[in-house]
Amino acid sequence: MTIIYTIAAILATIAMIALLLPRKVVVTREADVSLSPKKVIARVASTEGFQSFNPYCTTDPDLKITPFGPTEGVRSGFRFEGKEGKGTQTVTELTATRVTHLIDLGAMGKPVQTIEAEAKDTGARVIWTVTLDMGYNPIFRIFGLFMDRMLGKTYELGLKNIAALA
């Protein structure tokens, strides 16, 4: 019986420590590209345009993309299904310099992604950010410690893909 209490105490301690970890996780990558901010935003805000640099299309040639809603702007989006998972991505906000997407991954959460394009002398600085809410799930919070390493490479690939469009 002592072993059961000891294991329960250890698990409870790990859960309590995990709940002290940050609830929100932010991953950001940026790069300078030779496209104008207007051209970057036009691609990001368009379902077809997004696929021209979508890093998941690069890493998963069998990725299934099914557009829905308008072809561009707010409420445009697509369903995706591939080796990395399935869900939807929808444009929820659009300005001259920023596009915000809600990514719905079902039980895995609903990260918010923004792609900004700031004017530079030679084109644009593109800033790709995702914000994830890990909630009160201690396992998700521990998983959050590794999100920058996991997602960062994907966004770096996406930024390289955008740069290659010029």
pTM of the predicted structure, to 2 decimals:
0.86
Query: Does residue 139 contact residue 20 with C-beta atoms inside 8 Å?
Result: no
| Interatomic CA distance for residues 72 and 50, integer angstroms | 10
What residues are paired with 89 via a beta bridge? 78, 103
pLDDT digit string (tens) for 94-131? Answer: 999 999 999 999 988 999 999 999 999 989 999 999 99
Domain boundaries, the chain: 2-164
CATH level 3 topology of 2-164: Alpha-D-Glucose-1,6-Bisphosphate; Chain A, domain 4 (3.30.530)
- Identify the band that residue 59 occupies on the pLDDT scale cut at 50, 70 and 90: very high
